[in-house]
Structure 1
Amino acid sequence: MTISMVMCRPAPVREPLINMPSGSNGGQRLNLTNRTCQKEKVVLVMGATGAGKSRLSIDLATYFPAEIINSDKIQVYEGLDIVTNKVTKEDQRGVPHHLLGTQNPDSEFTAADFCDTASLAVETITGLGHLPIIVGGSNSYIEALIDDDDYRFRSRYDCCCLWVDVSMPVLHPYVAERVDQMFDKGMLNELRSFYNPNGDYSRGIRKAIGVPEFDQYFQNEAFGDEETRHRLLQQAISEVKENTCKLATKQLRKIHWLRNVKRWKIHRLDATPVFQKKGKDANESWKKLVAEPSARILAEFLCNVNTTNVDASLRLPALATALAAATC
């Protein structure tokens, strides 16, 4: 069920009470207090590669009227959809996505370019009365946007940071398995059509993990014997797995730095148990541990709804019903 609401705008302070659906939480009520909002709202979804950032952002956009802005510095480029693990149209579930596969793959899209383009996207989305959700693993881009030199972004927007965290010993095997799945989906053919022996691996989409690692394989593919080709292929796949795990560790360190050194208020959601389960059990765990707590955090952030005293077992449909009449 989608939570229907108008985004927060400056308004007189009101203190209405919204009754929860009968029997949902023993008659408790959500108290909407101090609903005056001086700034527009922006949500950031952070986390290491493979942790589920895209999944959470799309889940939230089905509960709230939202649009997604990609902040992954490689996924902004057009092409190599499998290699860069772009979210598919099907998985987007009709949610508008910005800065996803929009840039020339041979160009260099800098942090300054991201700040300019993302700021414009945020302004456009809030102008429509929608919630901008910025999601991606390039925390340096997010930091450049939020903590700009002239404090312009923070002076205009209130930010809510959500961090999907997965224990590295649990995440690393999943990331390695995902590389194998990408290979099965056609990663090699995608890379082969893109390969350029004179390509610059320090620029554009060729910086993506998966591109330079296969250089030696493609150089020898046409002339090497079968044993050499097999060895180089396995070596390339192994390097992609290793470098992806290194990236995940680096991303995690950056989040800890933003939280502990720069003192960003970041809500941590531990998704580790989700990755330790399979199938239906994993999906139920995701809803209970990640999606529903995130929606509650956003409910409080968007409408000053205090859900602290609400029954913790209350599921999203009941919460959505309670908030549907709320106008912030």
Structure 2
Amino acid sequence: MNSFRAHFQKKKVIFVMGATGTGKSRLSIDIATQFPAEIINSDKIQVYKGLDIVTNKVSEAERKGVTHHLLGEVEPDSDFTAGDFCYQALLAMEWIVRSGRVPIIVGGSNSFIEALVEDHFLFKFRANYDCCFIWLDVSSPVLHSSVSERVDQMVDAGLVDEVRGIFATEADYARGIRRAIGVPEMDKYLRADIKILDEKNKDMLLGAAIEEIKANTCHLASRQREKIKRLRNELRWAIHRIDATRVFEKCGQDVDKAWEELVVKECLEIVGDFLHDDDKIVAAASATITSAASMKRSFEELQVTD
């Protein structure tokens, strides 16, 4: 019985996936406040220190006391590869599991997640971990509208000054945190700002930069969505799709209510079943073994009586 139990006791890990702006961070925190869990960031830009507005990092207050790993930890000019992520994420996962908690990996960089899950040689992830994949999905037209509004909010929150703080005329936009959408798009405007062009022209350049940020973010969301579909349809990942479109169509106080009813409730059920399915299998096996042993004893007693 002990060997049977050990067979089913792989370490558990939860993945919260989805395009940018779908609420992945919020959902992962909602899950982590209901189950003993810690969060590992898998967004290839949010791993870097700085640009909290541009990268839309979850704030300390929003984390609700949940421990986060690989969030704002890497030096801004470093190259953080998929291999680096796999190594650092596995270290964090082992630490979390040894602490008696469940790792929740959340982020939009599906290339990082695929590199981790599909590695069968170096890390042997599937051999050691049992995975629960949750895909938070929003229809493209609704999501693109929401993303555009979010960019406006980021601008109001200080995006321009934040990017200005790391601006350099010889900047390499293919390296480190400067790859983030919102940084290269501001280049022409910030160069004009240095030259002190007239305000009308600068305003035009700023408006064009903001529109480019919106367009590039929407393109990113579409690519992320297609990548998840490929993981589900071609690689046959068992992904639970949660359609949050109706939540994003709400406004005001109705948003939070819809979020709890249409997203959180179903996800907590999925996670609860996932975390306890081994216990159910072992319990069923135990009942079967007990029943078989009882039948054997009854048969032996019958033979003795005869």
State the TM bucket, normalised to the shorter chain.
0.7 to 0.9
Instruction: State the number of aligned residues.
Output: 277
Unpaired runs of at least 5, structure 2: 281-306
Once the two structures are superposed, what CA deviation does each residue of 1:187-244 show, in whole Å capped at 9, x if it has no partner? 1111111111111000000000000000011111032111110111001000000000
**Which of these residues, 176, 180, 185, is aligned with residue 204 of structure 1?**
176
How far apart, CA to CA, are the structure 1 residues paired with 2:33 and 2:72?
A: 22
Q: Give yes or no for contact 1:191–1:211 (8 Å, CA) kept in 2.
A: yes
- Secondary structure, in 3 states, of the residue corresponding to 1:108? coil
Q: Which residue of 1 aligns with 2:228?
A: 255
Q: Which residue of 2 aligns with 1:6?
A: none
Which amino acid in 2 is paired with 1:153? F
Residue 145 of structure 1: CA displacement?
0.5
Unpaired runs of at least 5, structure 1: 1-9, 14-33, 307-328
The 1:175/1:216 distance shift into structure 2, 3 A limit, reads same
Q: Which residue of 1 aligns with 2:193?
A: 221
How far apart, CA to CA, are the structure 1 residues paired with 2:145 and 2:86?
A: 34
Q: Which residue of 1 aligns with 2:43?
A: 72
Question: Superposition pairs for residues 1-328 of structure 1, below 5 Å?
Answer: 37-150=8-121, 152-223=124-195, 224-304=197-277
Aligned structure 1 segments of 4 or more residues deviating by more than 4 angstroms: 10-13
How far apart, CA to CA, are the structure 2 residues paired with 1:11 and 1:89?
A: 42
Give the TM-score, by structure 1 length.
0.82
Q: Give yes or no for contact 1:40–1:156 (8 Å, CA) kept in 2.
A: yes
Residue 303 of structure 1: CA displacement?
0.6
How far apart, CA to CA, are the structure 2 residues paired with 1:245 and 1:200?
A: 23
Residue 12 of structure 1: CA displacement?
8.1
Higher helix proportion:
2
Which amino acid in 1 is paired with 2:101? H
Which is greater in Rg? Answer: 2
How far apart, CA to CA, are the structure 1 residues paired with 2:194 and 2:162?
A: 17
How far apart, CA to CA, are the structure 2 residues paired with 1:171 and 1:124?
A: 35
How far apart, CA to CA, are the structure 2 residues paired with 1:201 and 1:52?
A: 27
Q: Give yes or no for contact 2:120–2:126 (8 Å, CA) kept in 1.
A: no
How well do the aligned residues superpose, as a CA RMSD in angstroms? 1.6
Q: Which residue of 2 aligns with 1:314?
A: none
Q: Which residue of 2 aligns with 1:3?
A: none
How far apart, CA to CA, are the structure 2 residues paired with 1:140 and 1:55?
A: 21
- Secondary structure, in 3 states, of the residue corresponding to 2:12? strand
